[in-house]
Amino acid sequence: MSTTERTWAGPSAPERLALLREARSIAIVGASDKPSRASYFVATYLQSSTRYKVYFVNPVVKEILGQPTYASLADLPESPDIVDVFRKHDDLPGVLDEAVAASAKTLWLQLGSWHEGVAQDAEAAGLNVVMDRCVKIEHARFHGGLHLAGFDTGVISSKRQVLA
């Protein structure tokens, strides 16, 4: 994440909800086949709890969660509505170029990912942009599913609650 001051203003909660409601497909760029990775957790949620067609983009891995992966956004069988990005900061301009070439509608940078230049360039190219937010958390929040992953336990603690 860049240490520069944040000046870009992202879409409001109702606007993010509209993006998620209008989307039919999500491409996860930087998808991992490792269960310990955030992208794997997000992919599992999207496959099991949403109606989205989910595509995995990873040039190294052949399959994730029983689905084939694609080497790049250009290899997808359709233009993705949302490109959900799990890549390092320096890779984001290249991902944007791929998203524009693939006629994606929204560039969504995951929690901790912020790139003002990419956001400005994406908007100039006609894409919607969401940064530093998790697709899974946002979808669950808007659809009453935060409790499914333990996000809405009603307890504020760093220690796991013991249920009687």
What's the pLDDT tens digit per position in 1-20? 445 678 888 999 999 999 99
Predicted confidence (pLDDT) per residue in 66-93, tens digit: 999 999 999 999 999 999 999 999 999 9
150: left (phi over 0), alpha (psi -120 to 50) or beta: left
Global pTM value: 0.85
Q: What pLDDT, on a 0 to 100 scale, did the predictor assign at position 152?
A: 45
CATH code: domain of residue 113: 3.40.50.720
Q: What distances in angstroms separate CA 143 from CA 26, 30, 138, one per listed residue?
A: 17, 25, 9
* Token duo for residue 17: 């909800």
The residues facing 57 across adjacent strands are 29, 70
Is 163 a domain residue? Answer: no
The domain tally of the chain equals 1
Is 59 a domain residue? Answer: yes
Is 94 a domain residue? Answer: yes
74: left (phi over 0), alpha (psi -120 to 50) or beta: alpha
Is the per-residue pLDDT at 143 higher than 90? no
Is 61 a domain residue? Answer: yes
- Position 154 confidence tier, pLDDT thresholds 50, 70, 90: very low
Predicted confidence (pLDDT) per residue in 91-139, tens digit: 999 999 999 999 999 999 999 999 999 999 999 999 999 999 999 999 9
Is 162 a domain residue? Answer: no
Is 5 a domain residue? Answer: no
Is 157 a domain residue? Answer: no
Domain that holds residue 100: 13-149
